[in-house]
Copies of this chain bind each other. A is one copy, B any other.
Amino acid sequence: MTMKNDTLTIAVLPGDGIGREVMPACLELVNAATTMAGAPALAFETHNAGAQYYAESGDALPASTLEACRKSDAILFGAMGWPDIRFPDGTEIIPQLDLRMELGLFAGVRPIRWFPGLPRVLTDPRAEQIDFVLVREQTEGLFYARGRGEIRNDEEAYDTMQITRSGTERVTEFAFDIARQRKRRGKPGNVTCVDKANVFQSMAFFRKVFDEVADRHSDLTKDHAYVDALALNMVKKPWTFDVLVTENMFGDILSDLAAGLIGGMGMAPSADIGDKHGLFQPAHGTAPDIAGKGCANPSAMFLSAAMMLDWLAAKFGQPTLADAARLMEGAVEHTLSTKLAIPMEYGGNANCAEMTRSVISSLSAAR
């Protein structure tokens, strides 16, 4: 896509709980960073969705919100869901899953990087070198079963997982793309297929299609791992990982685990990418236990917005947006490494507002 003349429009969905706290903080930071980088300003348009909005309106993901997401240039998403607010049949309100399916956001990109200043979780000092990307397939796999599951006579229940050639090809191509970009920055340029091909047909198929795609990328390397062994190695030697690609459910589990290695959900950004659309959200949820207290760590939201700027920069040929992304990442890193502000979840006393102020004031240091 070439550069557009008009302003880029961002659909902003703060959602529920701490999503509503970290989102305004994030918009403030993005504005400051784009200004400093001389990047075009973004037009933020806030839309309703989520459990709390459902409680008010009876609609968890209004058609107007979905439509606005479709028309936007990118979607910035806080967090959605709330323990006590459910659909009449008792199921949880999770519009993020609907958005993935509706907008074809097939690649869940979860960069896992340790930042200086963060508490180290693993004793091995090489844990400070953790820097890998987990790519989670997000439109099929076991999640294909959502809404299709079956309970028979209160005796048996079934859910079917689906792996398609096209779904596997596109997510694998995506993973090799990321590996190539990383290789330019000196990373190994390797993609690991994480599966359970020793037991399941669908997983053997996933591996087979992965291998076919890998053959087209002779400039990069590949390997395979069984998901159980990979989970073990994720605590034993995550610093050896480069790019991982895996099925939806496995990716869900592994990405939370991976976030645990770098200080938890408060530091883990994510992007849900499709052919046309990109949605960017922190990996954390709505955190009902701390919501409303203003003490959430907005770092994951900030880093997710930086991923959005990078994606927009590439998509619309606007390198200054990537500059703004570097400023934001650098400012988070500076804040943490200099201990200018320490998030409450790491034993510090910086609440959301203080973290935001510190990160914004660190933008110049990141220049």
- Interface of A with B (CB < 8 Å)? 91-92, 94, 97, 119-124, 142-143, 145-146, 149-151, 154-166, 196, 198-206, 227-229, 231-236, 249-250, 252-257, 259-261, 264-265
Known: A196-B249, A231-B253. 13 other contacts (CB 8 A): A94-B198, A94-B199, A121-B124, A145-B202, A157-B201, A158-B201, A159-B203, A160-B160, A227-B253, A231-B231, A231-B256, A232-B260, A234-B260
A198-B94, A200-B142, A232-B265 known; A157+B257 contact, CB < 8 A: no
Cβ A145 vs Cβ B196 within 8 A: no
Q: A149 CA to B227 CA in the complex, in Å?
A: 18
Question: Are B257 and A235 in contact, with the CB atoms below 8 A?
Answer: yes
| Given A145-B201, A146-B200, A202-B149, A236-B253 contact (CB < 8 Å) | no
Nearest B-chain residue to A150, judged by Cβ:
B201
A157–B142 alpha-carbon span in the complex (Å): 11
Oligomer: number of copies = 2
CA distance A219 to B196 in the complex (A): 39
Residue of B nearest to A160 (CB): B160
Residue in A119, A149, A257 with the greatest tally of chain B CB atoms within 10 Å: A257
- Please list 9 pairs of residues, one from A and one from B, whose beta carbons are closer than 8 Å in the complex, sorted by A's number: A122-B122, A142-B142, A158-B201, A228-B253, A228-B255, A231-B253, A231-B256, A231-B260, A232-B257
**Which of B121, B159, B250 interacts with A161 by CB under 8 Å?**
B159
With a cutoff of 8 Å between Cβ atoms, the chain B residues found around residue A124 in the complex are 121
Q: How far is the CA of A163 from the CA of B265 in the complex (A)?
A: 30
- A236 — which chain B residues lie within 8 A by C-beta? 121, 260, 264
Decide: A156 near B163, CB < 8 A? Known: A151-B205, A260-B236. Answer: yes
Q: Looking across the interface, which residue of chain B has its beta carbon closest to that of A124?
A: B121
**A231–B227 Cα gap in the complex (Å)?**
13
Which B residue's beta carbon lies closest to that of A199? B146
Which residues from chain B contact A119 at a C-beta distance below 8 Å? 123
Q: Which of A97, A124, A142 has the most CB of B within 10 A?
A: A142
A233: chain B residues within 8 A (beta carbon) = 260
Q: Measured between alpha carbons, how far is A260 from B123 in the docked complex, in Å?
A: 13
Q: Which of B145, B165, B200, B234 sits near A145, CB closer than 8 Å? A: B200
Q: Which residues of B contact A250 (CB under 8 A)?
A: 253
Interface centre among A157, A228, A229, A256 (most CB of B within 10 A): A157
Inter-chain contacts of A259 with B (CB < 8 A): 232
Complex contacts, A198 vs chain B, CB 8 Å: 91-92, 94
Whole-angstrom distance between the alpha carbons of A160 and B148 in the complex? 12
Please indicate the chain B residues that have their CB under 8 angstroms from the CB of A196 in the complex. 249, 252
User: Is A161 within 8 A of B163, CB to CB?
Assistant: no
B residues within 8 A CB of A166? 155
> Which one of A164, A198, A255 has the highest number of Cβ atoms from chain B below 10 Å of its Cβ?
A198
CB contacts (< 8 Å) of A97 on chain B: these are 199
> Which residues does chain B contribute within 8 Å of A164, judged by CB atoms?
155-157
Residue from the list B120, B146, B157, B160 in contact with A159, Cβ < 8 A: B160
Q: What CA separation (Å) do A254 and B157 show in the bound complex? A: 22
